[in-house]
Amino acid sequence: MPTKNRVKVYIADTYYHLYNRGWNRTEIFRENEDYEYFEWLLTRHLSTLPVVDTKGREYRHLRSDIDLLAYCLMPNHFHMLVYQREDHAISQLMSSVLTAYTMYFNRKYKRRGSLFESTYKAVPILEDAQLLHITRYIHLNHTEYKTWLYSSYDDYLKAPREWIYPGAILELFSSKLHYKEFVDDYEAMQRERDRIKAELANS
């Protein structure tokens, strides 16, 4: 029986929470350059204009097929929220990004084999309440989320980068300040819950 959240049959015009972590929970990002390269891989498929390689060949341009609404890169895992218009868009984006990043990482750190624990997970988001919560969950992944460089949190408070589309979430709030309060108000409760979970796990 297929493992939960691994069945890759996607529905067009649907939001999905995508996530994965390193093999045996090892780091997939060791230096700032690693985070930045992963972001560039997203950019090359999601920028408003096609991106070309060193030989002038265009990378697959998916901007019309999929939007990246939110993301957070952590040392040993990542989260993304996307909206796909075409049922093939997630598979194309993730296959290209994760394959290219694994090749980059293995070459840089002189290793071989799989980098990620398994096939990435994908959870459809079908209700507005889920949609709001998942962006908050993603942005709060890092304890220093207000200053963490490798997430989309700042794109929600300032002018977003052109390959990130927070509009679908922000239009559910009266202002960007309202969204900031929505995230900040939940932080203390989430941190306390995480502390209790850790204590129970270690008891």
Q: Is the CA virtual torsion 157, 45, 42, 36 positive or negative?
A: negative
Q: pLDDT tens for residues 58-87?
A: 888 899 999 999 999 999 999 999 999 999
% of the chain surpassing 90 pLDDT: 71
Cite the beta strand spans of the chain per DSSP E. 14-21, 66-74, 77-84, 121-125
Q: Is the CA virtual torsion 166, 159, 136, 6 positive or negative?
A: positive
pTM to 2 decimal places: 0.88
CA dist 166 and 153 (Å) reads: 9
Tokens encoding 37: 């390269």
Judge whether residue 179 has pLDDT over 90. Answer: yes
Q: Give the per-residue pLDDT at 64.
A: 93
CA dist 160 and 176 (Å) reads: 12
Angle among Cα 165, 88, 63 to the nearest 5 degrees reads 30
